[in-house]
Amino acid sequence: MSEIAADRAVAGERAAARRPLVGYALVLTAVALWSVHGTVAKVVMESGGLSSLRLAEVRAAGAGFVLLAAVAIFRPRTLRFSAREGAYLVVFGVAGLAFVHYFYFTAIARLDIGVALVIQYLAPVLVAVWARFFVHEPMRRRIWIALAASFTGLCLVVEIWAGLALDTVGVAASLAGAFSYALYLVMADHSLRGGRDVYSLLAWGFLFATLFWTVVQPWWRFPGELVLEDASLLGRLASADLPVWLLLAYVVVLGTVVPFILMVSALRHITPTRAAIVAMTEPVLASLVAFAWLGEELGPAQIAGGALVLAGVALAQTARA
């Protein structure tokens, strides 16, 4: 068998192994876990007493050590990196993972979860803009419609006609989170194209994020007594109490590690573009969870704005030629 025939055979086997329905199910499961994660994180901050800085630190440390241990056991060779790549991983961990989580937690502490997520989901549009104007990647004309829809939707979400009726710090944190998320996507894509696998990339990224937070706020100053207390579930479920450590376990395991693994596994069955578009259901599901759990509601203009932002993101995802 010639090399060309062999390559075609391998490609055929991979195509046959793809099961799109499984891929979509994996993405939706990951999105459902992330959607609950936002409300759990808000309860930890508002009722459990942890700051957004500490919560970002716990999430990075927990996810980092779980992933690093798993990769060290099953794929130890992938943990190797050169000095040059090491510097890249440090920037990825700090400017990407550490900052995006901190800005997200800061945003949801001051805004409704759905609003914060819609604003942060501008990240794929920012990536498309970066690819068009800085990398000069070919783009379909629909990118301009995507930008217009996203900008218009953002104005509706923040109710700009009322002089920015929402919390200014919360909106600023959401926008900063969108830029950090975009940087995370660009750096992750570059690293994966360079040959690094997703699991070791996330393991090192979370570990360097943990080291950064350890310098900013040392662990020996961690308010450990708060972890042993109970957090009152706010809003519609106010009668229930759960220990803070259990909620933190959800943030780390079911809100971070498991969804990332599910999303990566989904890419074996569907393309990244389709996975990203399906993942845009997160603001919708997260808003429903926040409504049922915390009683958070969005106004008609904000709902329309969120739909426009998500439509713009979908167009931006499909505009890259």
Number of Cβ within 10 Å of residue 161's Cβ equals: 10
- The three-point CA angle 279-283-289 to 5° equals 115
**What pLDDT is attached to residue 215?**
93
| Residue 94 vs residue 21, higher pLDDT | 94
Q: Mean pLDDT in the chain?
A: 81
pLDDT at 269 over 70: yes
Burial tier of 236 (Cβ tally within 10 Å: 0-12, 13-18, 19+): exposed
* Residue 268 one-letter amino acid: R
Residue 11 pLDDT greater than 60, yes or no: no
pLDDT band at 7 (very low <50, low <70, confident <90, very high): very low
Q: What is the pTM of this model?
A: 0.82
Between these two residues, 166 and 52, which has the higher pLDDT value? Answer: 52
What's the pLDDT tens digit per position in 178-230? 899 888 888 887 887 788 888 898 999 999 999 999 999 998 888 888 777 76
Can you give the pLDDT at residue 14? 47
**What's the length of the chain?**
321
Residue 158: name the closest of 175, 143, 138 by CA: 175
Is residue 215 a contact partner of residue 94, using CB atoms and an 8 Å limit? no
CA distances from residue 125 to 90, 118, 145, 191 in whole angstroms, order as listed: 25, 12, 11, 20
Mean pLDDT of 261-285: 78
pLDDT at 320: 64
